[in-house]
Structure 1
Amino acid sequence: MYQSILVPVDGSEHSAKALGVAAQLARGSSASLILLTVAEYPPGNMGLFTGGMPEPFTADNWNDIADSLKADADDALQKVRDAVDLSGLEVETVVRQGTPAEAILHEASRRGVDAIVMGSRGVSDMHGMIFGSTSHKVSHVAECSVITVA
């Protein structure tokens, strides 16, 4: 049925549930799992969020913040991976940087996965309520099956 399943994870309870469903699907079809977490880029106008000038950060500061976001993404991936029994499964982990929906769609297309299994909500629920959830965006654009887990 499936040969490869992409599972975007962000450390949330919903992404852990999605990984559990993906693991069951993988066991039933001998599929490999690709766990993807996306570290977002720091906003270019970060100073406005901290009450400062529009661009108070140097390129080095921006890179330090980006590296910190990547480390947080690694931690989120490990947290979800530790919550689900993946024994006996072929599992690859990938960390990308960018906008979550775009990175998920790019990775799915680049690898030609058969399905994406993802949580219906992630760690940024408020952002999703205002701008639309990542899972909603992915499910409307992906070229493969998308299974959303609540």
Structure 2
Amino acid sequence: MQYLVAVDGSESSTEALEYAIDLASQTDASLLVAYAVEPRVLVEETGEEAPTNAEVGQRIYTEDIDVAETRGEEVLDDARERAERADVAVETTLLYGSPVDSVAEYAESEAVDGIFVGHRGLSDRVEGMVGSVAKGLVRHATVPVTVVK
């Protein structure tokens, strides 16, 4: 058996990873751990009141792709170390684009037996605006999705 774990560096995704490692170690399964590189849209923090609509455009910027990839590699390195300490076979990969689409497509292309994902990502605010990755994976994945709380 082979499972895919979607990670983003959040506490919730780490809990999903630990759950998958525990299950894999008990069943001799292997893990694919994936991080979806999607540069964040950031708002410059100034400590002032919330900006007006006219000011928002001047304070929003997109994170550099190299920064996003570096962050992803760090998260994957940590995941790899955790799995290896538990003697679980593990491979890691960077995916590109929307986490829901890229993780669901990767799961299908790799014919995994299931996906593990945390119930909350890094940003509650963004999650509220665009919907959660966990919810999207439950809807779009072609294999069972375990949402770890």
Task: Give the TM-score category using the shorter length.
Answer: 0.7 to 0.9
Specify the SS of the correspondent of 1:51.
helix
**Conservation of the 8 A alpha-carbon contact between 1:16 and 1:81:** no
Q: Which amino acid counterpart does residue 149 of structure 1 have in structure 2?
A: V
Q: Which amino acid counterpart does residue 137 of structure 2 have in structure 1?
A: V
Task: Report the identity percentage.
Answer: 29
Q: After the TM superposition, which residues 1-150 of structure 1 pair with which residues of structure 2 at under 5 Å, given as runs?
A: 3-41=1-39, 51=58, 65-82=64-81, 86-150=85-149
Contiguous gaps of at least 5 residues in structure 1: none
**Conservation of the 8 A alpha-carbon contact between 1:23 and 1:86:** no
CA RMSD, 1 decimal: 2.5
**Conservation of the 8 A alpha-carbon contact between 1:15 and 1:80:** no
For the structure 1 residues 24 and 42, does the alpha-carbon distance in structure 2 shift closer, same or farther, using more than 3 Å as the test?
Answer: closer
1:80 is displaced (CA, Å) by 4.4
1:98 is displaced (CA, Å) by 0.8
For the structure 1 residues 26 and 84, does the alpha-carbon distance in structure 2 shift closer, same or farther, using more than 3 Å as the test?
Answer: closer
Aligned length in residues: 136
Contiguous gaps of at least 5 residues in structure 2: 42-54
Using the size of structure 1 for normalisation, the TM-score is 0.79
For the structure 1 residues 82 and 123, does the alpha-carbon distance in structure 2 shift closer, same or farther, using more than 3 Å as the test?
Answer: farther
**Conservation of the 8 A alpha-carbon contact between 2:80 and 2:91:** no
Using the size of structure 2 for normalisation, the TM-score is 0.80
For the structure 1 residues 104 and 130, does the alpha-carbon distance in structure 2 shift closer, same or farther, using more than 3 Å as the test?
Answer: same
For the structure 1 residues 126 and 80, does the alpha-carbon distance in structure 2 shift closer, same or farther, using more than 3 Å as the test?
Answer: farther
1:104 is displaced (CA, Å) by 0.6
